[in-house]
Structure 1
Amino acid sequence: MINRQTLLTDLQRLLQRLEADLLERSESTEIVRVGEALRQEYEQAKAAARTAQNYEDWRSDTITQHAAAWVLSCVFVRFLEDNRLLDPPRISGQRSALSDQQSADG
């Protein structure tokens, strides 16, 4: 059985770590294409009047949206795997290891 509060807390921490990582990558001089892609997307949004935010606020919101989408996608894939709706597993590992764990959990 899933402990909802524990899952939520863990996912919120993961979201914060992902946001920090994406922000770091967007400012990196070693991985310039991330920052360049964000800047280009911002300029297009600004030119099309899809945003009135400054770049830093827009980037922060965009990073949060991307990180949340990644977390939710992974949770969804794990749900599919755990319910044997996706084969072979993509995230959880070998089916036998998953089955062994489920058997041990009762």
Structure 2
Amino acid sequence: MAGMNHNIRERADALDAAGNTTGFAIGSAALVSLALFGAFVSHADITAVDVLTPKVFIGLLIGAMLPYWFSAMTMKSVGSAALKMVEEVHMQFNTIPVG
């Protein structure tokens, strides 16, 4: 609709798809964490949770941060592995003769 060329449209579509995937992943992580908490509460026969208790509050904060921490570690490891692969390919292009 903006009248931009085809290459820009392809890149914008790829970024849009990545954003949609990220939003879906965050939403599903929130739903799974809620389901896990519900399963824990029912299995442990807990009838009430006092959020004002410091241990409970800290546990909720740490539990809420864990999915983001694991996601960050996963993204960092993928980026590191990709960089090592690029460096290896670059080294092979420079050292292995063609022909």
TM range, normalised to the smaller chain?
0.3 to 0.5
Greater Rg by CA? 2
Compute the TM-score of the two structures, normalised by the length of structure 2.
Answer: 0.45
TM-score, structure 1 length as denominator?
0.43
More helix by percentage? 2
